[in-house]
């Protein structure tokens, strides 16, 4: 097994913390059984983890407390191994962009394919599905940023996509209040043209909710770039779609916002 330990040390020395089964089998002309025997020993010794079949992450001594390195160090090679484009978004992206109230308890990744969440040590990686039709035009370089780690880069939603994703996937954020907090914290930083252009690939209902919240927290310039979605609206939408049926809300909404065609069916509470 010394050969495998030396191989891992060489990879780390080159700034690489991941490898695939196929790569190492080819490098050492190993059988599948011999490879599995060697890596299983190192997994038990907490030198390796395997978040996906055939893909391995090397643990440094300091990683063993959490049971795995921060996913920011290996999410990009993992998605490359799977052959799936991606962007880190929602709470982790918000924290990256400086939303002080966002504590990223889960590492959330937007992908155009259904993937199951999994745990790596104390880290939970959650995949949020976006239809390929919507994902492809939004996941472009101008609307993405990059997070640097000691092993390379990972791509993260820019502020504009982070805002749109937070409203579209509000339940993954922890509910309407958590999504609203993110809008409050980051809204002023959204670039107007990028926000307007990216919003064209999201449902009008989500864009209108975002516009309402941006305006509510004083980000009027950003809100106005989304007004086209409200002008097209033929009916009202609830601010929180998971609350009362719309027929009940119509009878007694907290607010009936004419501009954004939004029925405010919940008090929004955030930290200021």
* Six token digits for residue 89: 């978004």
Separation of first and last alpha carbons in the chain = 55
* Six token digits for residue 55: 């893909």
Q: Give start-end residues of each CATH 1.10.10 domain in the chain.
A: 2-63
pTM attached to this predicted model:
0.91
Q: Which residue(s) pair with 143 in the sheet? A: none
Residues sharing a CB contact under 8 Å with residue 18, sequence separation 6 or more, in sequence order: 55, 56, 57, 58, 74, 77, 78, 81, 151
Residue 71 CA, distance from chain mean position? 12
Express each pLDDT in 6-58 by its tens digit.
888 888 888 889 999 988 888 787 788 888 898 999 999 999 999 999 999 99
Is 254 or 6 the better-scoring residue by pLDDT?
A: 6
Model confidence at 157: pLDDT above 70: yes
Residue 138 pLDDT grade (very low, low, confident, very high; cuts 50, 70, 90): very high
Q: What is the CATH number of domain 2-63?
A: 1.10.10
Residue 225 pLDDT grade (very low, low, confident, very high; cuts 50, 70, 90): very high
* Six token digits for residue 147: 């997070």
Q: Which residue(s) pair with 125 in the sheet? A: 107, 118
Q: 68-101 burial by CB neighbour count: b if 16+ within 10 A, else e? A: bbbbbbbbbbbbebeeebbbbbbbbbbebbebee
Express each pLDDT in 60-115 by its tens digit.
989 988 899 999 999 999 999 999 999 999 999 999 998 866 566 789 999 999 99
Neighbours of 207 (CB within 10 A): 28
């Amino acid at each position: 097994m010394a050969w495998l330990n030396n191989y891992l040390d060489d990879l780390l020395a080159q700034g690489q913390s991941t490898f695939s089964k196929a790569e190492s089998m080819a490098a050492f002309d190993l059988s599948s059984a011999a490879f599995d025997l060697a890596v299983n020993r190192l997994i038990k010794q907490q030198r390796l983890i395997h978040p996906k079949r055939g893909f391995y992450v090397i643990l440094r001594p300091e990683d063993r407390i959490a049971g795995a390195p921060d996913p920011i160090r290996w999410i990009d090679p993992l998605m490359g191994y799977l052959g799936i484009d991606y962007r880190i978004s929602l709470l982790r992206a918000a924290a990256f962009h400086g939303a002080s109230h966002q504590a990223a308890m889960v590492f959330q990744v937007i992908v155009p394919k259904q993937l199951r969440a999994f745990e790596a040590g104390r880290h939970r990686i959650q995949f949020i599905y976006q239809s390929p039709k919507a994902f492809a035009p939004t996941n472009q370089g101008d609307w993405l940023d990059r997070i640097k780690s000691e092993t390379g880069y990972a791509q993260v939603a820019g502020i504009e996509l982070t805002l749109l994703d937070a409203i579209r996937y509000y339940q993954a954020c922890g509910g309407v209040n958590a999504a609203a907090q993110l809008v409050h914290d980051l809204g002023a930083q959204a670039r107007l043209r990028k926000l307007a252009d990216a919003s064209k690939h999201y449902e009008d209902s989500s864009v209108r909710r975002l516009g309402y919240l941006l305006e509510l927290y004083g980000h009027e310039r950003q809100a106005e770039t989304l007004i086209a979605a409200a002008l097209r609206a033929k009916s009202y939408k609830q601010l929180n779609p998971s609350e009362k049926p719309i027929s009940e809300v119509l009878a007694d909404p907290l607010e009936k916002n004419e501009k954004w065609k939004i029925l405010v069916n919940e008090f929004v509470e955030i930290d200021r």
